């Protein structure tokens, strides 16, 4: 019988990507992992929003939301900029961030 930890169940419901529908904006790549003993589950997610002045603004908001239950931990592993043109179905990912 396979049992799933509470943290792994939470991670299974986290959208892998959430970015604004169009425009040029900052994004961060976040590794989410379990804090539960013996659970090495992790998932990488992308978040990108035009409202963010700094990459850290995105990371702080997302990590605060995900870590509030005490089961998950977040780590910023990268970032940069995205130019998203949803009508043309094009995404240009470039640059980097020192978060």
State the catalytic residues. 55
3-state secondary structure 75-94: EEEEEEEEEEECCCCEEEEE
**In this structure, what is the dihedral angle of CA atoms 73, 78, 82, 84, given to the nearest 10 degrees?**
-40
83 vs 81: CA distance, rounded Å? 7
CB of 41 closer than 8 Å to CB of 9? no
The first and second tokens of residue 66, run together, are 């995900």
């Amino acid at each position: 019988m396979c049992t799933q930890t509470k943290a792994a169940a939470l991670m299974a419901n986290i959208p892998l990507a959430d970015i604004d529908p169009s425009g040029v904006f900052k994004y961060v790549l976040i590794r989410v992992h379990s804090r539960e003993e013996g659970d090495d589950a992790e998932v990488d997610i992308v978040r990108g929003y035009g409202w963010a002045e700094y990459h850290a603004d995105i990371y702080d908001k997302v990590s605060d939301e995900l870590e509030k239950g005490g089961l998950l931990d977040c780590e910023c592993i990268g970032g940069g900029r995205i130019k998203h043109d949803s009508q043309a179905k094009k995404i240009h990912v470039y640059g980097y961030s020192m978060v």
